[in-house]
Amino acid sequence: MGVKIKLYLGGPCTERAIKEIESDAIKQDMSLQQSLINWFSHYFNASLKYKDSGRNFYDIMLALQLGIIYGDRVSAGPLSPKVSSDFYVQAGYKYPVIILHGEMATLKEGDDSFPINDDVINFLGKELEDLMELEYIKFERLGSTFKF
């Protein structure tokens, strides 16, 4: 199965996001749920795009937090595990979940890797909330052998 870390997101958490999602639903004659899914998909796809440094949003956020913990050992910039998305159903409504496929960040050179602990995951969740304007609910580890 492999280790997975799931970050669960909820509905919009800013006035701007609420208005935009509602407006898009009306303009495009779709449900609020579909508009929320479209909103998430837009921001999720943007988060995966590589920047000039060859790192995506997840790589950058992990580097920030792991740099605080491990200092110069992560100066080369860790790479996040593979990232994908899915949806979960709560009270009959569909909400997004972001999945990290693994619990280690590996340096670009592949020489060293660092565990992604609970504090780092929660930091990532809060940064995703700020980026996507969707509430960060919680995370869940599946198949982990580490004790964090």
User: Does 110 score more than 70 pLDDT?
Assistant: no
Q: Contact at 8 Å (CB) between 4 and 125?
A: no
User: Does 1 score more than 60 pLDDT?
Assistant: no
pLDDT bucket at 66, cuts 50 / 70 / 90: confident
The single residue listed with the structure tokens 């590589």 is 50
Q: What pLDDT sits at residue 41?
A: 96
Backbone phi, then psi, for 55, in 5-degree steps? -115, 145
Cα 110 off chain centre by: 22
In sequence order, what are the beta bridge partners of 35? none
Q: Is 28 helix (H, G, I), strand (E, B) or coil?
A: coil
pLDDT tens readout for residues 18-65: 999 999 999 999 999 999 999 999 999 999 987 767 788 998 888 888
Q: What pLDDT sits at residue 148?
A: 60
Q: What pLDDT sits at residue 132?
A: 95
Domain ranges of the chain: 4-142
Residue range 94-109: mean pLDDT, rounded: 88
- For residues 13 and 76, what is the distance between their CA atoms, to the nearest angstrom? 34
Q: What pLDDT sits at residue 114?
A: 82
Percentage, residues of the chain above pLDDT 70: 89
Q: What pLDDT sits at residue 52?
A: 67
Both structure tokens of 86:
């899915």
pTM over 0.85: yes
pLDDT bucket at 78, cuts 50 / 70 / 90: low
pLDDT bucket at 70, cuts 50 / 70 / 90: confident
Percentage, residues of the chain above pLDDT 90: 62
Q: Contact at 8 Å (CB) between 32 and 127?
A: no
